[in-house]
A and B are shown apart, each in its own frame.
Chain A
């Protein structure tokens, strides 16, 4: 849909475009342009790195910064201890990286940098990115499951105490619910971020076109929309945290299946 210039196109913010004239870079026939998506991934990795570096001074009495970092690591460690048990400790680095990377990506995408003319790009609003993260988690589950339990891992598809005549029905259902996990994991994050950003853009277009249409429209449509936008922004910050948490939580639950079967 090619909108005329005066209209606000809510999908335009998700356009991926090559930066710094790298549009023609190729490797083995594939385009490897450095896009705005890659730029924001690099930025969130850098910010995360700086955040961690500031908090890893290992002081006996932690300062504020170290306290913030330690509360995050403690949070992830508690979550794994509660969901996986003692075997979960070795997954703390992975789950922590996953949680912090998604959290920083969601938060950086919400920054109001448009005021200074920079377009903050939320790369978690693309299924390619969240899908790869989900496949990574799923691959770890498969590798750990088969390495620890061998072919016994397939007993995951038949819960304990299933009557024998129910087995032909239960096993396919469990198999489907297992195979659909990477999709639901990636889809949830991508749609939640995308829907929020579309909503904000649509509301902002109400404000802009309401203001342009005249003083009456500006007061009765623009102002309420702006108030709603502020509220939705607060909700989006909440959603950014919850989605990162849910992604980490579900990954740890799946790892629990692989570690302990059920």
Chain B
């Protein structure tokens, strides 16, 4: 396989990481909503933690984008 073709294939495969991160972000918000509907009184106090979890899950998906960008543009 040509190196250029392998690079582009790798960049495409990195998009799987974005999809998996979307599952993670969805999980974070789904579980938060689940808990919040059971105990709405405690929900507002936990919003900071919600966004910490969101940031953690999202970062790993963004890393996949960085890998793809590096493969394409380097």
Q: What is the interface of chain A, defined by CB distance below 8 A to chain B?
A: 11, 79, 82-83, 184, 187-188, 191-192, 195, 242, 245-246, 249-250, 253
B52 and A188 within 8 A (CB): no
The CA-CA distance from A188 to B56 in the complex, in Å, is 10
Q: Which residues of B contact A11 (CB under 8 A)?
A: 73
Complex interface: chain A residues within 8 A of B48 (CB): 79, 82-83, 249
Offer 29 A-B interface pairs, CB within 8 angstroms, sorted by A. Answer: A11-B73, A82-B45, A82-B48, A83-B48, A187-B59, A187-B62, A187-B63, A187-B66, A188-B55, A188-B59, A188-B62, A191-B62, A191-B65, A191-B66, A192-B58, A192-B62, A195-B62, A195-B65, A242-B51, A242-B54, A245-B51, A246-B51, A246-B54, A246-B55, A249-B48, A249-B51, A249-B55, A250-B52, A253-B52
Query: Could you tell me which B residues sit within 8 Å of A by CB distance?
Result: 45, 48, 51-52, 54-55, 58-59, 62-63, 65-66, 73
Q: Which residues of chain A are near B54, meaning CB under 8 Å? A: 242, 246
Complex Cα distance, B69 from A187, in Å, reads: 13
**Contact partners of B45 in chain A: CB under 8 A:** 82
Q: In the complex the two chains form, is B52's CB within 8 Å of A249's CB?
A: yes
* Docked-complex contact A250 and B58, CB < 8 angstroms: no
In the complex the two chains form, what is the Cα distance from A253 to B48 in whole Å? 10
CB neighbours of A246 from chain B (8 A): 51, 54-55
In the complex, A44→B35 CA distance in Å?
Answer: 39
CA distance A249 to B48 in the complex (A): 8
Chain A residues near B63 (CB-CB < 8 A): 187
Q: How far is the CA of A79 from the CA of B59 in the complex (A)?
A: 22
3 A-B pairs closest in CB distance: A191-B62, A246-B55, A188-B59
Measured between alpha carbons, how far is A82 from B45 in the docked complex, in Å?
9
**Residues from chain B with Cβ under 8 Å of A184 in the complex:** 59
With both chains docked as a complex, state the minimum distance between the C-beta of A196 and any C-beta of chain B, in angstroms: 11
Roughly how many angstroms separate A184 CA and B56 CA in the complex, as a whole number? 9
Cβ of A188 to closest chain B Cβ, rounded Å: 5
Chain A residue with the shortest CB-CB distance to B66: A191
